[in-house]
Homo-oligomer: A and B are copies of this chain.
């Protein structure tokens, strides 16, 4: 038996007790994990900083966010709505007669999580996939990201102190651990945040299983931003430059495409000028890993060489070792359309393309050809906006999972309403989210009980609703 087998089998055994633990108790334990993370904040961030170069402020903030995620899922468990309890009482007089059927969600089993490079806490060992799976009643085995192995080990040890059984959170290291993990018969679902190439490889491994299991992957996103003519160039340019360079551009919600009105004949236009100036004033930084650094430079060079693409401006690299420079390119809408699908590919890092259009009515036909994104953003001035945005919004709704008005896609709120997903490659399962309360659904499967003895029913499905959870009874939702 390999080490990975042992980790998965121990997780499965620990999961059997965990799934039987009442939701309220699981909630209290998740809050204990939040406390443990905050208590160890001073130890955690420097280890992560040495491995990721993300800096104290960002990392302290990210640990806080990670703790908040645990608290949100404690709230989700106490609410009880995620059980989605539905009770249909028997109707012997119906034609044909109807049995008593009661359905609720239950944990799917051991969940494998592939940690992301760019959030050493919030999308890693103790990240959103892990906490939502633990909340669902699942044990988790994380494949640590190669970019921050020590942070992963330390985080796991902090989280385990607060869990009833340390085996509930397994941790494996190394590229070669991914295959055996995904193929293990006891693994029932996979969460993945990373590149399109990496995600496609994991999907291939899953498809080789005799029983392909659900794959919840987030594989890349260009996050188009549509700037309508009524928007203010200076405001847009300042916001864009800040969003583009946040975290050295290493966010899945980084705005990679900005559609702006072009200028008149022979004039760059106010938006293009303002964006060029704003990006020129930015400073880059050191990227997460050498691989990501090299990949960014290659992708930016490829972009610069595409037909019709011009370099608009670059920022400063800054003083960090191997620091990269924010870069922005520009291209007319027609040339952009000709350059698809390549010009619609994500360039992970602080680089973006400004696409210049003549009239907003030219946009829908091109937007329809973009790949799926996590977000799409509209910028407009006050007043005439709704009418101006109409046709564009219809397209964006089918292109992205989150639509933002006069804001920027970076910074994803961890709340009840958040949706962090979209059509492929933004997500492999567009009905699901990896951030926010609904993320728990990925690790739940419904079970319906037909004419089942009351004594054997979970409390969520009992008449009288002893736990006070939301129930839909005979078709009526009761909150």
Binding site for B on A (CB under 8 A): 16, 61, 64, 75, 79, 81, 86-88, 95-96, 98-99, 101-103, 106, 108-109, 188, 203, 207, 210-214, 341, 371-372, 385-386, 389, 393-394, 397-398, 400-407, 411, 413, 415-419, 421, 423-425, 428-431, 433, 438, 441-442, 444-453, 455-456, 470, 472, 474-479
Contact = CB atoms under 8 A, between A and B. Distances in A.
B475 A403 contact: no
A16 to B, nearest CB: 8
A445 B431 contact: yes
Contact of A445 (B79, B430, B475, B476): B430
Given A101-B413, A402-B450, 16 more contacts: A99-B407, A101-B415, A103-B418, A103-B438, A106-B397, A108-B430, A109-B398, A385-B453, A404-B451, A405-B449, A406-B451, A419-B446, A419-B448, A421-B445, A438-B446, A476-B479
Contacts of A438: 103, 446
Contact of A472 (B188, B405, B406, B416): B416
A394 B442 CA distance: 21
A431 B96 CA distance: 27
Contacts of A417: 86-88, 101-103, 448, 472
Contacts of A421: 445-446
Given A98-B415, A389-B456, A430-B108, A403 B214 contact: no
Nearest to A461: B417
Nearest to A406: B451
7 contacts: A64-B95, A99-B413, A103-B438, A214-B430, A401-B447, A402-B448, A478-B479
Contacts of A447: 397, 400-403, 419
A211 B371 contact: yes
B448 A418 contact: yes
B472 A477 contact: no
A197 to B, nearest CB: 14
B405 A452 contact: yes
Given A385-B453, A393-B456, A451-B407, A477 B79 contact: yes
Contacts of A397: 106, 447
Closest 6 CB pairs of A and B: A419-B448, A211-B424, A477-B479, A86-B417, A479-B479, A88-B417
Contacts of A86: 416-417
Contact of A403 (B96, B418, B452): B452
Contacts of A81: 472, 477
A406 B417 CA distance: 41
A423 B451 CA distance: 22
A371 B88 CA distance: 28
A405 B454 CA distance: 11
A372 B445 CA distance: 13
A431 B477 contact: no
Contacts of A451: 404-407
A450 B101 contact: no
Contact of A88 (B61, B64, B404, B413): B413
A203 B211 CA distance: 13
Contacts of A371: 211
A403 B415 CA distance: 34
A224 to B, nearest CB: 15
A282 to B, nearest CB: 21
A137 to B, nearest CB: 12
Contacts of A61: 96
A450 B411 CA distance: 12
A145 B418 CA distance: 40
Nearest to A380: B453
A431 B446 contact: yes
Contacts of A425: 211
A403 B453 contact: no
A407 B472 CA distance: 24
A398 B423 CA distance: 29
Contacts of A430: 108, 214, 445
A479 B478 CA distance: 6
Nearest to A470: B477
A455 B386 contact: yes
A465 to B, nearest CB: 13
A398 to B, nearest CB: 6
Nearest to A90: B413
Contacts of A479: 470, 476-479
